[in-house]
Structure 1
Amino acid sequence: MPVLSVVLAAALATAPACVEPPPDPTNTYDAAHTYDKLVRTYPDIRIASDALPPGVSKTADLVYAQYGTRCLKLDLYRPPGGRLPVVVLVHGGGWKAGFRAEFVPMALRLAQHGYAAVTVSYRLSGEARYPAAVRDVQAAVGWVREHAAAYGLDPRRIALAGGSAGGQIASLAGLTGTGEGVKAIINIDGLSDFTSELALQYEDDPRKNPSAAGAWFGGRYAEQPALWRAASPIRHVRPGMPPILFIGSGQPRFSAGREEMMARMAAAGVVSDKVILPDTPHSFWLFDPWLQTTVEASVAFLHRNLP
């Protein structure tokens, strides 16, 4: 057994038992609550199915990181076969809410296209401020690499994807620190630049005390400018970075900085692509018919960039 595996096994054997945090009644960012808010405006939407389709297996509640008694878990969905490419999916919720179950429907459909898919939980802003969530997602990528052989995964073909806050986290995790090794990124309606005029209009609104971003950073832009800049994926554009697919809703505020980031990527010789779903709300990926378009665009991008 490799030395690292022996060390990890010993650490897990001596780690204290996991204690699940109590449910947070204020955390209502899920498909059901979002449906109730949107259905009057979009009466034809349907919550995307999370039923396990034939040929797709699920391995649930795998611990990928532990801090004292606090365990972070992921669920793995995979089709038959081995050396599978992997997509790690990061849920949204304004850095303060959300559940990994948000991306189960997309994970299942990716699995039907031949990809293993991993949905992850991470520490929200009420538990740990920036950059904890980014580090958690990077730890999940590390777990996938470390356990690839055991689950029939290809450690050289890993992509990160996320929606809303999860899109921003996925982008940042793939561009910084131990995100090294991520080969492609899909940012679904997530910010690229916290410091852009459009983002500050909403994320630094003085009427919100604090705003969702302000709570994550521990202060408004004037108070924590270095953090707001460092957390902006646009600040980390460089030659050799992973290609990014941007999938956007009809609500421009949630993709603030996207066009500027794509321009910088082009100047750095890095591939990017953009798919916009007009007349759609934020959180469109939770619902049919929009999820299918999201999956099709993602699969086409992954086929090109995660062969």
Structure 2
Amino acid sequence: MPVLSTVLAAALVAVPPCAEPPADPANTYDAVHTYGKLVRGYPSIRVAGDALPEGVSKLADQIYAQYGARCMQLDVYAPAGERLPVVVLVHGGGWKAGYRSEFVPMALRLAQQGYAAVTISYRLSGEARYPAAVQDVQAAVRWVRAHAAQLHIDPQRIALAGGSAGGQLATLAGVTGEGVKAIINIDGLSDFTSELARQYEDDPNKNPSSAGAWFGGRYAEKAALWREASPIQYVRAGMPPILFIGSGQPRFSAGREEMMAKMAQAGVASDKVILPDTPHSFWLFDPWLQPTVDASVAFLRQHMP
């Protein structure tokens, strides 16, 4: 059966060469650095493996959007098969940091469950403020849909998922864009304007906070943007169902309960899975990654069969 290969890579549309942005030494949001911060409090954790398993193919460094010489890239992981459902994965890092490699372990495990999985890079706040990252996520979804035949995926079965800032981005891009059938929000904000979110993201001692840097100002200065970027503002009948997977740190899921209540009123399905006694960034590590994958697969099989 067809698999991703150099033949597929050659079949995709050629684009001009791109200039790589310089490495940012301050961007340390990855599994290795996060492990060093967490292992003392959670000595049994292990960085989830990212070795390509048998039966899963990788198509690397595909350019899904280009801004001048700046190219946005993604990687595709897929099992053999035709018309596969696909999950586009959006990394975390406070809108200012992180790498698409963060979601490789989850992508591989999804592929072993019969899903194509796409990990994407997007413009961080130091390069481009809101809404650039949202636009990038939506551009990646459009690229995946446009290349469905070459990728052996079903263009009618595309889901978005992400962790932390990536959870907020996946949710916002999914509820304001087109063609997304399901969303998985892993420890990401649903409402920037909520009291819990502003307690941390509008803290005057942070100059600026992660959200403040992304919006270009504090809540009092950019309130319209803080509201506009809150997924809870877009609850409506017909929107994609959402699975919320949360850590033991409520601040990172601010607005979740209120959004689920509004979705219920609108007749839209949602579900929530909480992994108790877990830190933020739990999806980077075993033993927590597998329950995250299991919950995601169960939700997708129900809502994107």
Band of TM-score, shorter chain: over 0.9
The CA distance in 1 between the partners of 2:189 and 2:22, in whole Å, is 30
Match of 2:192 in 1: 194
Opposite residue 221 of structure 1, the aligned amino acid is: Y
The CA distance in 1 between the partners of 2:100 and 2:14, in whole Å, is 27
The CA distance in 2 between the partners of 1:276 and 1:224, in whole Å, is 32
Report SS of the residue matched to 2:82: coil
Evaluate the alpha carbon distance shift between residue 15 and residue 57 of structure 1 in structure 2; reply closer, same or farther with a 3 A threshold.
closer
Opposite residue 32 of structure 1, the aligned amino acid is: V
Note the 1:76-225 alignment, pairs <5 A.
76-176=76-176, 179-225=177-223
Following superposition, the deviation at residue 15 of structure 1 comes to: 5.8
Following superposition, the deviation at residue 243 of structure 1 comes to: 0.1
Does structure 2 retain, via aligned residues, the 8 Å contact 1:83–1:152?
yes
Report SS of the residue matched to 2:61: strand
Opposite residue 87 of structure 1, the aligned amino acid is: V
Q: 1:225-280 CA deviation, whole Å, 9 max, x = no partner?
A: 00000000000000000000000000000000000000000000000000000000
The CA distance in 2 between the partners of 1:84 and 1:273, in whole Å, is 24
Identity among equivalent pairs (%): 81
Opposite residue 63 of structure 2, the aligned amino acid is: V
Report SS of the residue matched to 1:292: helix
Following superposition, the deviation at residue 17 of structure 1 comes to: 2.2
The CA distance in 2 between the partners of 1:73 and 1:30, in whole Å, is 18
Report SS of the residue matched to 2:156: strand
RMSD: 1.0
Does structure 2 retain, via aligned residues, the 8 Å contact 1:192–1:257?
yes
Opposite residue 29 of structure 2, the aligned amino acid is: Y
Match of 1:234 in 2: 232
Report SS of the residue matched to 1:222: helix
Opposite residue 228 of structure 1, the aligned amino acid is: W
Please identify, of 14-23 and 82-91, the stretch whose mean Cα deviation from structure 2 is larger: 14-23
Match of 2:304 in 1: 306
The CA distance in 2 between the partners of 1:104 and 1:39, in whole Å, is 21
Q: 1:146-174 CA deviation, whole Å, 9 max, x = no partner?
A: 00001101100000000000000000000
Report SS of the residue matched to 2:271: strand
Kindly indicate whether residue 22 of structure 2 is the aligned counterpart of residue 22 of structure 1.
yes
The CA distance in 1 between the partners of 2:135 and 2:117, in whole Å, is 19
The CA distance in 2 between the partners of 1:174 and 1:236, in whole Å, is 10
Query: Which residue, 267, 280, 283 being the options, matches 2:281?
Result: 283
Does structure 2 retain, via aligned residues, the 8 Å contact 1:106–1:295?
yes
The CA distance in 2 between the partners of 1:14 and 1:184, in whole Å, is 30
Following superposition, the deviation at residue 16 of structure 1 comes to: 4.4
> Unaligned stretches of 5+ in structure 2?
1-11
Match of 1:3 in 2: none
The CA distance in 2 between the partners of 1:110 and 1:228, in whole Å, is 33
Does structure 2 retain, via aligned residues, the 8 Å contact 1:184–1:242?
yes
Kindly indicate whether residue 273 of structure 2 is the aligned counterpart of residue 270 of structure 1.
no
Evaluate the alpha carbon distance shift between residue 209 and residue 82 of structure 1 in structure 2; reply closer, same or farther with a 3 A threshold.
same
Q: 1:102-153 CA deviation, whole Å, 9 max, x = no partner?
A: 0000000000000000000000000000000000000000000100001101
The CA distance in 2 between the partners of 1:13 and 1:125, in whole Å, is 29
Opposite residue 189 of structure 2, the aligned amino acid is: L
Q: 1:44-101 CA deviation, whole Å, 9 max, x = no partner?
A: 0000000000000000000000000000000000000010000000000000000000
The CA distance in 2 between the partners of 1:270 and 1:36, in whole Å, is 40
Kindly indicate whether residue 53 of structure 2 is the aligned counterpart of residue 53 of structure 1.
yes
Following superposition, the deviation at residue 13 of structure 1 comes to: 8.1
Report SS of the residue matched to 1:87: strand
Report SS of the residue matched to 2:219: coil
Report SS of the residue matched to 1:136: helix
Evaluate the alpha carbon distance shift between residue 48 and residue 267 of structure 1 in structure 2; reply closer, same or farther with a 3 A threshold.
same
Q: 1:24-57 CA deviation, whole Å, 9 max, x = no partner?
A: 0000000000000000000000000000000000
The CA distance in 2 between the partners of 1:45 and 1:88, in whole Å, is 26
